[in-house]
Amino acid sequence: MEQQYGKVTAEIVDQLKTIVGEKNTIIDDKAKLQEYGMDTLSLINGVVAEPEVAVRPESTAEISAIMKLAAEHKIPVTPRGAGTGLAGSAIPTCGGIVLSLDRMNRILEIDTVDRVAVVEAGVITKELCRKVEGHGLMYAGYPMSTESSFIGGNVATNAGGAKVIKYGNTRKHILGLEVVLANGEILQLGGRYRKSTWGYDLMEIMIGSEGTLGIVTKVIVNLIPGGGKTLDLIVPFPDTETVVQAVSKMIVEGKIMPVAVEFMDKLCLTQSAKHHEVTLPFTDREDVEAYLIIQLHGNTQEELEGIYEKAGELCLENGALDVFAAESRRDSENIWKVREEYSPGLRLLDKQLYNNPGDVIVPFSKVPEMMRELKRLEEKYHTTIATVGHIADGNLHTLYVKPDEVPPEKWTEYAKTIYDEMTDCALKLGGVGSGEHGIGLLKKEIFLRTKSPAEIEVMRGIKKAFDPNYLLNPGKIL
């Protein structure tokens, strides 16, 4: 059913200015409003939906007041973090109010006894990591966008990243949330404890809901002891199936649990290295098809060296062509720079790319089969599918290169056909269409098509219980 929403009138704008201040109410600056009408997906596919007004509150009380005003006049509200989302979750498709959390950026407390940090939703992930490191602690919820993403956005999408294999995704590190509901009510969910059986767990429902059930304003995150030593490896392989076998042997038989195991195909790694103007080993070898980037951890240098020797031997015994260990901090920084910011390198190909940020995930045992499906799709559609991924999680990220015979004006629709078929392949292999980017706008259609009617009905019931007038981030997920 189509929702009927109210309009942002001059009187409502005046009330918003009273709540957050005139300078934090953006109404006449068209360029700014356009910025608030887009996220990273917009830079990829051009989708922009300008809000009627954008506000930048500084407190939970201000957000509560905004939501009460919006509820009274049935105005849609789109919460916004850093705008780094890749599924269009921060695009205000129904206009209304964009509510930016960028001013709520304080680390309120670091408690070394309870081993928690209390932060506002607009804190940049990397800033939190740096602050708690000074207390000998570590925040292990570490998405690849750590330099720019907000903690609140990580919660909204249940973000993952390179370290999920050892530490788990964001959900594993959240102990408590403060949330403002669509009617302005404020919920305090969870706390400084690590287990409970105390009714329905509303906090778990909130994590990964992409701002459709409530606005996260404050987060209590779990911290673990930091310290120790790390070592980064680059390991080249002749093909992707050999990669999967080596990872399995290392973890299961070798009983080595890396901090991270990242996959890059040759095209992605070599182009990214070229873009960043760094030299990495094995990029000139013609017998290499794929690479692993492995990060190992040991409590002491001696322990780390023992783990490295064992991991290196297992890789070589299971098909690796060589092993390179970073010898300096610069080596490690270059390795991770190439992995974290790889897509600009593909643009050096002087080819039109479809950077539809699909992040399908399949059971680890099905990764070789999923890789074969990607090869089949390459042949069927005469394209190149550039692939990276958190391979030990079965989480693969792809970009497509436009075939010469496809006209530019038909490329987006052509590539979407590839994307949909790729997602269907993942679902048939027992996976899902997103491991960490979320559903948002981008995957809503295929999400609804592939979920059972009974499950969708339960989800709609949850949405209605939290947000009966569909004011929060309308048009996303459901």
**φ/ψ (deg, to 5) at 119:** -135, 155
Cα 231 to Cα 137, 234, 295, 307: the distances in Å are 19, 10, 6, 10
Q: Between these two residues, 412 and 448, which has the higher pLDDT value? A: 448
Q: What is the mean pLDDT of the chain?
A: 94
With a cut of 80, say whether residue 414 has pLDDT above it: yes
Q: How many helices (H) and strands (E) does the chain have?
A: 17, 18
**In the chain, where are the structural domains located?**
107-225, 229-346, 351-438
Return the residue matching tokens 């919920």: 187
pLDDT the model gives residue 355? 65
- Cβ contact 221:128 at 8 Å: yes
Q: What's the whole-number mean pLDDT along residues 339-345?
A: 89
pLDDT at 426 over 90: yes
pLDDT mean over 379-385: 96
**CA distance linking residue 246 with residue 265, whole number of Å:** 16
User: 250 and 323 in contact (C-beta within 8 Å)?
Assistant: no
Written as six digits, the tokens of 312 are 């290196």
Secondary structure in 3-state letters for 319-333? CCCCCEECCCHHHHH
Q: Over range 261-289, report the average pLDDT.
A: 95
Contact 280/335 with Cβ under 8 angstroms? yes
Neighbour tally for 346: CB within 10 Å: 19
pLDDT for res 404: 92
Query: What percent of the chain is helix, strand and coil (3-state, nearest 5)?
Result: 40, 20, 40
Q: What is the mean pLDDT of residues 360-375?
A: 93
Global pTM value:
0.93
Radius of gyration of the chain from its Cα atoms, rounded to whole angstroms:
23
Residue 187: what pLDDT?
98
Q: How confident is the model at residue 245 (pLDDT cuts 50, 70, 90)?
A: confident
| Pairing relationship of beta strands 77-80 and 97-100 according to DSSP bridges | parallel
Pick the CATH number of 229-346 from 3.30.565.10, 3.30.70.2190, 2.60.40.1120, 3.40.50.11540: 3.30.70.2190
Total residues belonging to the chain: 478
Per-residue pLDDT at 84: 87
Q: Per-residue b/e over 319-333, b at no fewer than 16 CB within 10 Å?
A: bbbebbbbeeeebbe
Separation between Cα atoms, residue 228 and residue 136, nearest integer Å: 10
Residue 203 vs residues 188, 200, 440, 476: alpha-carbon distances, Å: 9, 9, 20, 20
Query: What pLDDT is attached to residue 343?
Result: 85
The pLDDT value given to residue 241: 82
Asked if residue 256 lies in contact with residue 307, where contact means CB atoms within 8 angstroms, the answer is: yes
Query: Per-residue pLDDT averaged across 7-20, rounded?
Result: 98
Owner of token pair 């300078």: 23
Check residue 412 and give its pLDDT. 84
More confident residue, 427 or 253: 427
107-225 and 351-438 share one fold: no
How far CA 65 is from CA of 32, 55, 183, 312, 462, in Å, comes to 23, 12, 9, 57, 23
The pLDDT value recorded for residue 74 is 98
Is 398 in contact with 377 (CB distance < 8 Å)?
no
Distance CA(58)–CA(76), nearest Å, equals: 20
Token pair recorded at residue 187: 């919920």
pLDDT of residue 77: 98
Instruction: Say whether pLDDT at 1 is over 60.
Output: no
Q: What integer pLDDT is reported at residue 346 of this predicted model?
A: 87
pLDDT at 395: 94
Is 3.40.50.720 the CATH classification of the domain at 351-438? Answer: no
pLDDT of residue 2: 66
pLDDT at 161: 81
> Mean per-residue pLDDT for 385-411?
92
Per-residue pLDDT, 356: 64
Residue type at 352 in one-letter notation = Q
Per-residue pLDDT for 277 more than 70?
yes
Answer whether CATH 3.30.70.870 is correct for domain 107-225. no
Cβ atoms 150, 125 nearer than 8 A: yes
pLDDT at site 468:
97
- The confidence score (pLDDT) of residue 3 equals 82
With a pLDDT cut of 90, the percent of the chain lying above it is: 83
CA distances from 340 to 122, 144, 191, 397, 465 (A): 22, 6, 33, 12, 39
Please check the confidence at residue 336 and state whether its pLDDT lies above 60. Answer: yes
Confidence of residue 440 (pLDDT cuts 50, 70, 90): very high
- Bridge-based pairing of strands 25-26 and 53-55 is antiparallel
Task: Name residue 198's beta-bridge partners.
Answer: none
Query: Using CB atoms within 10 A of its CB, is residue 478 exposed (0-12), middle (13-18) or buried (19+)?
Result: middle
Q: Which amino acid is at 55?
A: V
pLDDT tens digit string along 137-188? 999 987 777 788 999 999 999 998 888 889 999 999 999 999 999 999 999 9
What distance in Å separates the CA atoms of residue 469 and residue 182, rounded to the nearest whole number? Answer: 8
